[in-house]
Amino acid sequence: MFDYTIVYNIYISYRYTIMNGEQSRKTMLPLVALLLLVSTTIATTPTITLNNGVLLPAIAAGTWQYKPEIAEQSVNDAFEAGFTHIDTAHDYDNQEGVGKALQGRKRDSFFLTTKVPGCGLQGISKANCAQDSSAAIDANLKQLGLDYVDLLLIHFPPLLGCKVESNCKAIQSQYAALEAALTAKKTRAIGVSNFCISCFECLNKTMKVTPAINQVKYHVGMGSDPGGLKSYCSEQGIHMQAYSPLGDNASALIEGPLLEKIGTAHNKSSVQVALSWIWQNEVPVVTKSTKLQHLKDDIDIFDFKFSADELNELNSQTQPSGSPSFMCKS
């Protein structure tokens, strides 16, 4: 994911200038500092291996609720903070702004996730779900200015969930459109978002490619395996990925005494504790912020580990409560 030629070029330049005297060494000090910063970022941002071998960076910068110009700035800030994974979606209506931030960057230096709306939602008709989804995929690529994305997700199951027969048939056809996009190399991996177990049971009847990701709500207070969904996904070879890592009411979570206590013990903030809990439960996470320092803090979560007692306390929290998907429950 990272362009190692940057590091190599800095190193070669440093070697060259060292050979040309003390003044050159002073000139190169900022570049040496940059090299150290880049090396630290590489070393502290892990990846997970998806079920098709694609490496997914463990933390992503999200763009939900951002207007295009704000999305552009937030993505640029995310890259500056050390992120290599950007998360967006067709119905965020900001992909052109995201695309502007990607312009001029080497394609293998970042990982891009996007989503198509579910059947019957956001311009995707239930009757022609596959066809409309294929058109949305092409629109995504055009808006982003890319030939392919790294991860393509179905954003939601249909309204009323997947136990309704017509809904099940619709998402089966929609998922086939994602499989076709994968075959056409418009994406490197495919998956879903906000899916519950019944939706996977529906997909299992017709799918040819197992989803790589199920992106759902997941935060302290929900337990480490809400509704058995994480265990089910793991058994199927599907990684869960967390959005809304601070819940719907962030202050209720991060101002609680437990997170503050654990944060103090590790010299971390309550937000960093909340994000790290997700990762230490082997779930990659999507965070977001319009503030550069917050993004820098958010990515600084991979250098400490909870004690067994701390992890048990966090896993046992029941507030703030939540459900992995607001579209279906089981």
Determine whether 66 is an active site residue.
no
Consecutive H or E run containing 111: strand 111-116
Give the other-Cβ count within 10 Å of 15's Cβ: 10
Gap between the terminal Cα atoms of the chain: 36
- Give the three-class secondary structure for 253: helix
DSSP assigned state of 71: H
Q: Which residue matches tokens 């709306």?
A: 117
Q: Are 130 and 137 in contact (CB under 8 A)?
A: no
CB distance 51 to 269 below 8 Å:
no
- 328's CB contacts (< 8 A; 6+ apart) are 157, 161, 162, 163, 194, 195, 196, 198, 199
Q: Name the 3-class secondary structure at 233.
A: helix
The vertex-74 CA angle with 70 and 79, nearest 5°, equals 155
- 189 and 114 in contact (C-beta within 8 Å)? no
C-alpha span between 241 and 243 (Å, rounded): 7
Residue of 8, 66, 92, 232 marked catalytic: 92
Structure tokens that stand for 2 in this block: 């990272």
The separation between CA 126 and the C-alpha centre of its own chain, rounded to angstroms, equals 27
| CB atoms closer than 10 angstroms to residue 192 | 27
In single-letter form, the type of residue at position 2 comes to F
Q: Are strands 55-57 and 47-49 parallel, antiparallel or unpaired?
A: antiparallel
- Catalytic center residues: 92
